[in-house]
Structure 1
Amino acid sequence: MTSELPPLPDTPPPAPTEPPAVSAHVPPAPAARRLSPLAAGLIGLATGAAIVGGTWAITANSGPDAPATFTLKGSFALTDSVVPDGNGGCGGTRGYDDILEGAGVTVYGASGDVIATGGLGNSTYDGDTYDCTFKVAVPDVPKGERFYKVEVSHRGTVQLSGKEAENGDFGASLG
């Protein structure tokens, strides 16, 4: 092994050569083609359908609110054949057995259609007059009728104006 270095060349290495020049010629873009009338019509139809469908989807859930309603309130009194229940309440007897808490209350609109149903509420016994008075509260009665008819159990209807019904002025008695 020798410690001698190889001799250096007398001439410097050649300078690097430049890469070959790239042609600046870019081929022209292909000429734009015109759509056929059929293709243009189909694209227009699809776009129109998308707009109509999108509008429908947006407005489908934003329709008018449910009709305004109120709770028909008032009282119903039984004045004959009343029996106290021992807890301050009461009900009917001897032919008035159907008049008790929970008995059906039907509300009819001006056209005669059933528009809401409920039941007699809590009862109160008046030992001085021997009357039994029930609270009436029928929810979700549609507003706007000229008049309403209210029937307790199967005992016939009582008519009241729309204003009376909405103001909670229902009152009827039986017996």
Structure 2
Amino acid sequence: MTLTGDNVPTGETSEGCTGYSGYDDIAKGASVTVYDSAGKVVATGSIGTGKPKSAACVFPLSVAGVPEGSKFYQVEISHRGKITVSSTEAKAGKFTA
């Protein structure tokens, strides 16, 4: 399965749509780590090019090779902490980190 979604850092955006003011680690190529419900790393990837949206910058993410069968997944972008995503949300790409 390929896990897809969006990363929307809070705060304003700078020219070129990258994070800043404490979010400068959020930019194209920032790491994405996917964990299964047991806390095991099951896949890694990176975020794509940010696009401005209102007062934020939306970064698409796509991580291939995520094994199916976990009740939920945790997604961590850079060092920003894990968010929990249901298996259904992960498959549908319907989550925001």
**TM-score w.r.t. length of structure 2:** 0.93
Shift of 1:81: 4.2
Q: Secondary structure at the match of 2:90?
A: helix
**Greater share of residues in strand:** 2
| Counterpart residue number, 1:57 | none
Q: Secondary structure at the match of 2:33?
A: strand
Q: Superposition pairs for residues 1-175 of structure 1, below 5 Å?
A: 70-85=1-16, 90-126=17-53, 129-172=54-97
Amino acid at match of 1:163: T
Residues in 2 aligned to 1:118 and 1:82: alpha-carbon distance in whole angstroms: 23
Amino acid at match of 1:145: S
| Counterpart residue number, 1:38 | none
Shift of 1:75: 0.6
Q: What is the identity percentage for the equivalent residue pairs of Structure 1 and Structure 2? A: 44
Structural RMSD (CA): 1.1
Identify unmatched segments of 5+ residues in structure 1.
1-69
Residues in 2 aligned to 1:110 and 1:144: alpha-carbon distance in whole angstroms: 10
The runs of at least 4 consecutive aligned structure 1 residues that moved more than 6 Å come to: none
**Greater share of residues in helix:** 1
Q: Which has the higher contact order (CA 8 A, sep 6+)?
A: 2
Contact 1:108/1:116 (8 A) holds in 2? yes
Q: How many residues align?
A: 97
Question: Is the radius of gyration larger for structure 1 or structure 2?
Answer: 1
